[in-house]
Amino acid sequence: MSREIRFGSRESDLAVIQARLVMNCIARTHPEISLRLITMKTRGDLHPEMPPEGKSFFTGALEQALERGEIDLCVHSLKDMATEENPNLPIAALSKRADPRDMLILPPGRVFSGLGALDTSLPVGCGSARRRVQLFALAPGLRAAPIRGNVTTRLDKMDQGGYGALILAAAGLERLGIRDRPGYLFPVREMIPAAGQGVLAVQGRAGEDHDFLDAVRDPVSEEEARAERLLIHAMGGGCNSPAAAFAKISGSEITLLGMYAAAHDTFPVRGEISGERKDGPRLAEKLARRLLQKEGGL
């Protein structure tokens, strides 16, 4: 007998595409399961003019629907989720990571010739303090300003003359099929990504059978993302202070990059640590202590 699984997602084009990516993985391996997508607006979607009030600003409505039993699973960008998991609504699977980098996007017809060559009369649109503090460290002459809305809305705001450039996640642009915009891909050592950037998270209810999510899970990405999230959590969650984390596993070794700024207008402290892959959690906590003590820059 067919089993139905109801997936919850935000209504944006990118969120729906990401939910479909997860559902397609399951459909290929479990054709006996019926999959249904249910979309809804989060507080962040309903109030685009408001500054984000923590990670639940974008995930809260989905998590509440999951708790009420209106959906069975929900799909998030992992970078949008709080680092402290709700034990009743655990992360059931993490996908193989897409491009983790941030990308600077220019208006049509422009050519990137260095950060120093950008038009300083218009701000660079950055949706996160993490990006803004790192951009200022790279190019102090540039002016950054917050920008809200989905990817298409942000691009429209720039193209209409409100911003001289944008910084967006490369994974989101790729998933939306936006490949022809002029710009620059920041190396991860130049602009350290958000913890879990490029990874999709499937959230479920504790105690339920999620074995079919083996079709989605990627063990290496899971291990890297968990080390990144532990680093952010050990630095205080990254909610009130800008923070970034990126982990890379190579064989039996893991390398962690981290960034922390005491406030939105201060210079960030950056650090790196490497060691045995099995010691990832310990290394994350050690790097967090270094960064909080403003030691060990890159």
Cβ neighbors of 66 (< 8 A, separation 6 or more) are 8, 72, 73, 74, 89, 203, 204, 205
What pLDDT is stored for residue 81 in this prediction?
92
What pLDDT is stored for residue 294 in this prediction?
76
- Scanning the chain, the segments in alpha helix (DSSP H) are 13-29, 43-46, 56-67, 129-138, 151-159, 170-175, 219-234, 280-292
Rounded to 5°, angle at Cα 132 from 13 and 160: 55
Write the DSSP symbol of residue 97. P
Q: What is the mean pLDDT of residues 108-121?
A: 92
State the pLDDT confidence band at 238, using cuts at 50, 70 and 90. low
- For the chain, the average pLDDT equals 91
Cβ neighbors of 160 (< 8 A, separation 6 or more) are none
Q: What is the mean pLDDT of residues 120-143?
A: 93
What pLDDT is stored for residue 297 in this prediction?
42
State the pLDDT confidence band at 47, using cuts at 50, 70 and 90. very low
Task: Identify the three-state secondary structure at position 18.
Answer: helix
State the pLDDT confidence band at 184, using cuts at 50, 70 and 90. very high
Residue 236 · residue 82 · CB < 8 Å = no
State yes or no: pLDDT of 60 exceeds 90. Answer: no
Choose between 298 and 127: higher pLDDT: 127
Rounded Cα distance between 125 and 167, Å, is 6
pLDDT in tens, 155-178: 999 999 999 999 999 999 999 999
Cβ neighbors of 214 (< 8 A, separation 6 or more) are 29, 93
What pLDDT is stored for residue 236 in this prediction?
86
State the pLDDT confidence band at 240, using cuts at 50, 70 and 90. low
pLDDT in tens, 282-295: 999 999 999 998 74
Rounded Cα distance between 55 and 59, Å, is 7
Of the listed ranges 49-53, 132-136, 173-177, 277-281, the least confidently predicted one is 49-53
Domains of the chain, CATH where assigned: 1-95+199-217 (3.40.190.10), 102-185 (3.40.190.10), 219-298 (3.30.160.40)
In total, the chain counts a number of residues equal to: 298
What pLDDT is stored for residue 58 in this prediction?
66
Rounded Cα distance between 245 and 132, Å, is 15
Q: What pTM was estimated for this model as a whole?
A: 0.90
Rounded to 5°, angle at Cα 270 from 269 and 271: 130
